[in-house]
Amino acid sequence: MSSEAEAVPFRILPRLTDANREFWQGGEVNELRFWRCQDCAQYIHPPLPICPSCHGKNLRVEPVSGRATLTTFSVNHQAWMPGPELPYCVAIIEIMEDPRVRLTTNIVNCDHDALVIGMPLRAIFEHHVDPEGDVWIPLFEPEVKP
């Protein structure tokens, strides 16, 4: 869960909109959420005003399990901007419910030498206080800690 006891790193936060608010604030109740077409069950990410499969507009935000698979990653050593302590792991993950839904994210609580493509992960959330609306950044950690 959000490790507010530890220092929260600087992050550029997303500009919140009606389309993305549920995604970025779901972490408040520990939920990873995506828009989903209620007619054809397609998950939609990033958010769109219509379903890209059936073009319907009967869309709703639904929580998923937060379980995911590591698709690929890179351990970044370069200080591009203020951010997490170097080096940190940037990764692309696929959610368990639909491998076509991916997120760029960070893998945390994992030795970088233990990162293996295909490893199971679970979402945790990093709370950022902001006057325009708090944000919970979805990060991932190994489902089974090594």
Partner 1 sequence: MTHSQTANEIIERRACISGVGQSDVGRRLFRDPLELTLDACLAAIDHAGLTTSDIDGLATYPGPMSTPAGFSGAGAYDVMDALRLNCGWYSGGLETSGQLGSVINACLAVASGLANHVLCFRSVWEGSAQGGQGRSSVMPGGSGGSFKASGFMEWTLPFSAPSAAIWIAQFAQRHFHLYGTTKEQMGWIAINARRNAALNPKAIYTEPMSMDDYLNARVISTPFGLFDCDAPCDGATAMIVSRLDRAHDLRNPPLRVEAVGSAIHGRPSWDQFDDLSTMANRDAGAQMWSRTDLKPSDVQMLQAYDGFTFLTMSWIEALGFCKVGESGPFIDGGTRIARDGELPLNTHGGQLSGGRLHGYGFLHEAATQMWGQAGARQIARNVEVGAVAAGGGNTCGCLLLVKD
- Kindly list the residues in this chain that would bind partner 1 in the complex (CB under 8 A): 9-15, 20, 45-46, 71-84, 87-88, 90-92, 100, 102-106, 117, 132, 135, 137
Instruction: Work out whether 42 is an interface residue with Zn ion (CB under 5 A).
Output: yes
* Smaller CB separation from partner 1, 31 or 84: 84
58 forms part of the interface with Zn ion (CB under 5 A): no
42/106 with CB nearer partner 1: 106
Q: Which residues lie below 8 Å from residue 90, measured CB to CB, with a gap of 6+?
A: 73, 74, 75, 76, 104, 105, 106
CA distance 146 to 133: 35
Residue 85 C-alpha from the chain's centroid: 19
User: Does residue number 51 form part of the binding site for Zn ion (CB under 5 A)?
Assistant: yes
